[in-house]
Every structure is written in structure tokens, then in C-alpha cells.
Amino acid sequence: MTSNTKNILLQLALISYILLAACTPGESPEMADMIISGGPIYTMDDANSQVEAVAIRGNTILFAGSLDEAGAWKGEETDMVDLAGKTMTPGFIEGHGHFMGMGYNKLNLDLSGIKSYEEMVEKVAEAVAEASPGEWITGRGWHQDKWEVQPDTLIKGFQTHQRLSEVSPDNPVYLRHASGHAGFANAKAMEIAGVMQLDEEGVPSADVEGGEIIRDELGNPTGIFSERAQGLIGQHIPENTRETDMRAFKMAVENCYQNGITGFHDAGVGRETISLYNEYWEGDSLGIRLYVMLTGWDPMLLQEWYERGPQIDSTGWLTIRSIKLNCDGALGNRGAWLLESYTDRPDHFGHETLPMATVSEVSANGLTYGFQVCSHAIGDRANREILDRYEAAFTSNPEAANDHRYRIEHAQHLHPDDIERFGELGVIPAMQAIHMSSDRPWAIDRLGENRIVEGAYVWKKLLNSGARIVNGTDVPVEPINPIASFYASVSRKTLEGTPPEGYEADQRMTREEALRSYTLDAAYGAFMENLVGSIEAGKLADFTVFSQNIMEVPEAEILDTKVAMTILNGKVVYEQ
């Protein structure tokens, strides 16, 4: 059966279920497969915001309302699921992450929890002891600003490679920063890449445009490669195999289930990953709803998709209709592109990692060929430049821009003059609240107090502009746990609960706004609000069940919440 034929049949099945749901309970020709009740159920349906029971048949919601009325759908074989006081919401949607990166983070060295450079060195030494001679050792997750103990030697705020090189003299090592916007190499890796030594005249090799090799006072590389300079090392790392891809994919799916995630916006993938996803999808074994952004690093890939058009899956499993552009770096490595220089590095403004001419071209092509454009921007300069180019594209092609839903991924630091433009232009800020919790304690060193207060992590100002916020974690930059991001959204605190009053507390979301950003507005950000995102008759049966009521428990207890059950497409895929 071809994928088109399968789509048509599944679409007809969905239509029949919608018609069935339109019947009153007394007229129902079929009984429910499952009725869920016994705890608070938040629907995100404004007309019916909280219900007692939900009835589903197959993969579709038949009814959401009172427990008495739900009884009309009960048959002899209906599975009665008792929430036992736990709380159910629409299935949570990860609004910006890196799906295969999440899986590979579990296969390689996970450095997300380390507290010092010495701990990093110890983990690498352990990996060297297990590795074959010459085998690459890779990992991700370190963040120098989160270390409890700083190394004695720092250059431009980063550690140097000597200790790493000592424990791994023969195995090349490359460890990506938590943000993904920098990496740390040992001497062997730099030797392989040809960047370890100065040239014959004692001059270091030129930096890559849109990136930086951090060097000491003599011009020697320290091991830190920022932004596009990472490619100097990355091109020498052996490619993943099909076997490891499949292992990483399976681990990523399971990680989503355990964290109550039923949908995932995959922020930038290439042709090989797309091929893998399509293979699983055509075999009815994808196991997670994926909304995929084509990587903007591959212009030939984009041209191929312009010619073929978007892949829109009416069943909600695999849709490819958007393009990811990486336009600047991150605050952690001082790669975010700023209008004014960094407070803690006055001569530095970050990096324009993609020519703005490319953003203009892709923004126009997206409207012409029916693709949403999603641009990574963290610094205020990058956000302004992208808004300018989006606006120019909308003005040039107003008919196609009628429902564009163009996004800016992260929108982390904005100039005050640009905040209202999100609502005015209909641009979606796809933000990760957990970044505020993790980064705010040190981000003030990068930007200074005025810029932090006026334009960093300004969720409430964006919502007041009329924009819809799509929430998430940017996994594997942060763990995919949505409870942490929900807590950050409503508290504006670190996960340790500091400061007591919250950072810039006037910018916190209400709990309803935070829930919407993870459900209905996340679905809207993927053109899927008619399929998922709320609990309404006719929509797909995707739910997340929490151990306690995240909408009512005291703020300090939100982080104690566990995912008790994940229901995807009408099936229980995870139960604690």
C-alpha cells in the first residue's frame, strides 16, 4: 500500500469517527473502547474547560463531559480507566527539540550533570579505558557557567584542552557544549583536523566565517570551537551507522513516553534522518507524532522539497512542511548576535551564522511553495534581522502570507522595540521556559541588568502582543521533562527554587497559559490544532496523566509531579 493510499484510507476513517462523535450518546451506533474518569481532566477547550470523563474509540475522542453522560458510551468490552485522583491533560507536545540528538545523547557521553572540568576529564578517562585505539570519543552537555568549581586557567571564559589531552593522548575527543553551539576538542582531534599548530610563519589559521576558534595569547587553539568553526572538527568524526541510528531512535521514543510527550517538533534534520523517519512511518511503526523542520544548511535539500511540496500527514504522525534556519549562536558561548556588545566581553557581538540574504530568500520561497519558516534567533540583533526579513516577505506576497505561522525559535533576548512586532506580524515565538531557569543566573553577566529586564525571556509581554508561545526544552540542550519547563513558566525560578520572588516575576505565565503553550498553542505552531492539542470530540486521543494536579498544587510542589501515564493514539504507551 502506498503512503498516499494509506493517507486517504486513514483520512476517511477519521471522518467517520468525527461523524460518529457528532451523534448524541443515545444515538451512538458503537460503544467506546475506553472511558477515562476519576480525576481532574483539563481539556484546553474554552467551551468545556474541565470534564469528568472522556470516551474514546480506536484513536479518536468520542465524548468529553460528565461521567453520567459518558455512561451512554459504555459497552461490555469498554475498558474503564480510573485515574484514581490523578490529573489528565491533552498530550504534551515538545515544541522545539532535536529528536535523534536526544537518542544519541544516551548512546554517547552525557555530560549534562557534571559540576567541574575535572569531572569531565574523569568521564573521558573512563571512556578511553573502554575504547579501541584511535576510536573517537564524543559527548555533549557540559556548560562552564554551571560548574561549581572553575578551572585555574580560563581563556575568554572557557577551559583549555591540556588536562583533556593528557588523559586521552591517542583517542580524539570532541565534546559538544550543552547549547550545541560550541565544542571542546583535545589535541589529538585538533591534530587530525589540522588546526593544532601555527603555520610556517607562526600565524594561526583564519577563523571560519560565522564562527570562532578560541586561542591563547600565543595564537594556539585552546580546544574551544564556537558556532560554524565546529565543522573543522566535526567533518572528521565518523558518521553514524544505520544500527546506531535505529538504537538512538528507539531510545528517543521511549524517552518521550516516559515524559508524557506525544508530539515532537524536530528542529532541523537532513535527508538521511528524513529517510529513516519515512521508513518507520510507512511501516506504521513511527511511535511518536513528528513535525519535522528541514535543515536550512542544505540548499539542495530545500530545492528538492520546493519542487515536491510539503508532506502533510492527515493522520498526524509525520509532517514535513517547515524549514529551520540557524541564524545566530547561543548566550552560553557568546555566540548570540547582539545589537550591543557583550557586557562580559566588550569587543564581541556574537555571530551571524547564516547570511541574512539566505533568510530573505527562504522567507520568500516558503510563502511561494507552502513551507513554514522557523528561524533560530537568540540575540536581539538576530531577532530584529529575521523579523525584518519576514515582514518584507509578507509584504511582497500578502495573499500567501494570510496564514503563514512563521516562527522564531528561542526568541530569547529581544530589543523592546521588537516585542510588539511578534503579535502584529503573527510570528510565533517558540521559546523554552526552562532556558530562563537554567541560564538566567549567569545570563545577566552576558547582557547586563537593563537588557535582561527589558527584553530577555519576556513571555508575558509577547503574550500581551497577541503572540502564541510554543513551549519546550530544546532537548538535548535540556532534559525533555516538561514539568521542569512548566514550573519555570509559572514561577520564573531556578529548579532549586531561587530567587524566592522569581526573576522578573511580572513576566511569568499563568498555569493556563503554560498548559496552553505545551498543548493547543504547540499544536497551532505545527498547523495541527484541528487534530491534537485539546480534548474534544473528533480529535485524536493523545493524553498525558500526571501524578498530581499541576494546575492547583502549591508552586513549590510542582516539581514533585511525575508522569503517571502516557496515552498516544488511543493506546497506553507508558504507565509508571
Phi, psi of 341 (to 5 degrees): -65, 165
CA dist 520 to 52, 90, 439, 470, 532, Å? 20, 8, 27, 9, 7
Contacts of 444 (CB under 8 A, 6+ apart): 452
Residues in a beta bridge with 294 = 269, 323
Q: What is the rounded distance in angstroms from the CA atom of residue 328 to the CA atom of residue 336?
A: 5
Helix (H) or strand (E) holding 433: helix 433-455
CA 45 to chain centre: 25
Phi, psi of 348 (to 5 degrees): -125, 135
Q: Is the Cα torsion angle 208, 213, 217, 220 positive or negative in sign?
A: negative
pLDDT of residue 470: 98
Q: What is the pLDDT of residues 106-139, one digit of tens each?
A: 888 889 889 999 999 999 999 999 889 899 999 9
pLDDT of residue 29: 54
Of 449, 462, 431, 468, the residue nearest 96 (C-alpha) = 431
Q: What is the pLDDT of residues 283-302, one digit of tens each?
A: 999 999 999 999 999 999 99
**Assign residue 11 a region: left if phi > 0, alpha if psi is -120 to 50, beta otherwise?**
alpha
pLDDT of residue 198: 59
Per the listing, cell 538521511 goes with 272
Contacts of 6 (CB under 8 A, 6+ apart): 282
Give the angle 302-356-334 at the CA atoms, nearest 5°: 110
Q: What is the pLDDT of residues 238-273, one digit of tens each?
A: 988 999 999 999 999 999 999 999 999 999 999 999
Q: What DSSP string describes 295-307?
A: ETT-HHHHHHHHH
pLDDT of residue 1: 46
Of 90, 95, 20, the residue nearest 536 (C-alpha) = 90
The parts of the chain modelled with pLDDT lower than 70 are: 1-29, 197-206
Tell me the pTM: 0.86
Q: Cβ(574)–Cβ(566) under 8 Å?
A: yes
Side-chain-side CA neighbours of 273 within 13 Å: the count stands at 24
Give the CA radius of gyration of the chain: 24
Give the angle 155-159-161 at the CA atoms, nearest 5°: 110
Domains identified in the chain and CATH numbers: 1-91+534-576 (2.30.40.10), 109-234 (3.10.310.70)
Instruction: Kindly state the DSSP code that residue 85 receives in the 8-state scheme.
Output: T
Per the listing, cell 588523559 goes with 167
Q: Which residues of 60-76 are buried (b: 16+ CB within 10 A; e: fewer)?
A: bbbbbbeeebbeebeee
pLDDT of residue 27: 45
Q: What is the rounded distance in angstroms from the CA atom of residue 49 to the CA atom of residue 122?
A: 51
CB atoms within 10 A of CB 347: 6
pLDDT of residue 205: 63
